[in-house]
């Protein structure tokens, strides 16, 4: 597998150098691997810190900025960052109002953020945590006890970030993040495996003519492998899985997320089928994002995330956000 890289060992460092060069509104500590919004710490504001393995860009570094994250800590590809990174990020962004750690539910991330919380608290930083576990495909997987955190992370980071920007205190920001997570469900499909720089080739074997339903964002196995399906059939399967679990009784936010290697032309076509499938099930959509947001390197495929919406969340969603990957209102 050919990659646009120098050597596998410097992939994350090179990307951080490139992120710093492209985005003067971020402060990038390349050596310590911490990405911080340039105006942090923001006086009186609760700070949001997230992080996880690299390879899911724009998550999380592309979500740093006004109205979303205050800092992100990228680990090696598909590998948790270390507690020292997270504690360093917390110290860099805490204004005294406390820090919320947004943690995708993978065993390594959860353990390391727990240790980082202890380190930060030892330094006098007040820490709250939310664990994102929106993926309905499997309970327990290669890297997780319980459900995995995938596309729902975007909604937690955006909506809790907006609440923090408005001046909500730590307990309210944490409660809102938990509420958003509890209202999120995702289901993903892979048409191809991804290739990691370290391995140099596909991380698993997915034969021609087959797809994997319920895939994770690291190529972890899903629910089942099937003969290739149409966009409409995939939309029905994904929407069924998500709606059956979430049982929405009102409007939802919709994320039609590319895994990285599927063209935008196909993602928009898939969105048409997802909307049809939601319409047939009586689920109204208030806002839609279509694109590559929570990716798995060059994997072909897509995921569907629904997030329960209400007036408060809709107002927060529409408030100004200014990050490399999401930007409106400012």
- In this structure, what token pair is assigned to residue 240? 């069924």
Residue 47 Cβ vs a second copy, minimum distance, rounded to whole Å? 24
Listed in sequence order, the residues at least 6 apart from 321 whose beta carbon sits closer than 8 Å to its beta carbon are: 65, 66, 67, 68, 158, 161, 162, 327, 328, 329, 330
**Per CB under 8 A, 203 contacts a second copy:** no
**Per CB under 8 A, 284 contacts a second copy:** no
- Given 33, 37, 45, 56, the catalytic residue: 56
The answer to whether the beta carbons of residues 53 and 44 sit under 8 Å apart is: no
Task: Find the binder of a second copy among 49, 248, 298, 316 (CB under 8 A).
Answer: 298
Residue 60 annotated to the active site: no
**Per CB under 8 A, 303 contacts a second copy:** no
**Per CB under 8 A, 262 contacts a second copy:** yes
**Per CB under 8 A, 301 contacts a second copy:** yes
- How far apart, in whole angstroms, are the C-alpha atoms of residue 302 and residue 153? 15
Residue 218 annotated to the active site: yes
Residue 292 Cβ vs a second copy, minimum distance, rounded to whole Å? 7
**Which residue, 124 or 209, has its beta carbon nearer to a second copy?**
209
**Which residue, 129 or 226, has its beta carbon nearer to a second copy?**
226
Task: Find the binder of a second copy among 75, 151, 216, 261 (CB under 8 A).
Answer: 261
Residue 16 Cβ vs a second copy, minimum distance, rounded to whole Å? 8
- Sketch the per residue contact string, 22 through 61, with a second copy: x for CB under 8 A, - otherwise: xx------------------------------xx-xx---
**Which residue, 16 or 164, has its beta carbon nearer to a second copy?**
16
- Given 60, 88, 218, 308, the catalytic residue: 218
Residue 25 Cβ vs a second copy, minimum distance, rounded to whole Å? 11
**Per CB under 8 A, 111 contacts a second copy:** no
The answer to whether the beta carbons of residues 248 and 282 sit under 8 Å apart is: no
Stretch that binds a second copy, among 17-25, 92-100, 116-124, 303-311 (CB under 8 A): 17-25
Residues that bind a second copy (CB under 8 A): 2-7, 10-12, 14-19, 21-23, 54-55, 57-58, 62, 77, 191-192, 208-209, 211, 228, 230-232, 234, 256, 260-273, 275, 285, 288-290, 292, 295, 297-298, 300-302, 322, 327-330
Catalytic annotation, residues? 56, 218
């Amino acid at each position: 597998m050919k990659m646009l890289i120098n050597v596998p060992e410097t992939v994350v460092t090179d990307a951080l150098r490139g992120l710093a060069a492209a985005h003067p509104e971020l402060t990038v500590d390349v050596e310590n691997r911490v990405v911080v919004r340039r105006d942090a710490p923001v006086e009186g504001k609760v700070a949001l810190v997230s992080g996880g393995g690299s390879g899911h860009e724009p998550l999380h570094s592309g979500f740093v900025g006004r109205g979303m994250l205050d800092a992100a800590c990228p680990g090696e590809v598909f590998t948790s960052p270390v507690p020292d990174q997270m504690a360093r990020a917390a110290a860099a962004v805490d204004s005294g109002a406390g820090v919320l750690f947004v943690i995708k539910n993978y065993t390594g991330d959860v353990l390391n953020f727990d240790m980082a919380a202890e380190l930060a608290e030892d330094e006098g930083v007040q820490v709250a945590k939310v664990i994102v576990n929106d993926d309905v495909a499997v309970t327990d997987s290669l890297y997780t006890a319980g459900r995995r955190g995938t596309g729902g992370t975007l909604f937690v980071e955006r909506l809790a970030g907006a609440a923090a920007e408005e001046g909500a205190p730590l307990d309210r920001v944490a409660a809102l993040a938990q509420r958003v997570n509890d209202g999120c469900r995702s289901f993903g499909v892979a048409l191809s495996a991804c290739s990691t720089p370290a391995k140099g080739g596909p991380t698993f074997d997915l034969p021609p003519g087959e797809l994997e339903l319920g895939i994770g964002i690291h190529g972890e196995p899903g629910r089942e492998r099937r003969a290739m399906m149409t966009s409409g059939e995939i939309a029905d399967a994904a929407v069924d899985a998500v709606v059956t679990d979430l049982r929405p009784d009102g409007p939802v936010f919709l994320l039609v997320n590319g895994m990285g290697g599927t063209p935008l032309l196909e993602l928009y076509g898939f969105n048409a089928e997802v909307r049809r499938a939601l319409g047939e099930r009586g689920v109204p959509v208030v806002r839609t994002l279509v694109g590559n947001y929570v990716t798995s390197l060059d994997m072909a495929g897509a995921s569907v995330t629904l997030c329960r919406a209400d007036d408060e969340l809709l107002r927060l969603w529409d408030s100004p956000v200014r990050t490399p990957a999401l930007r409106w209102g400012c």
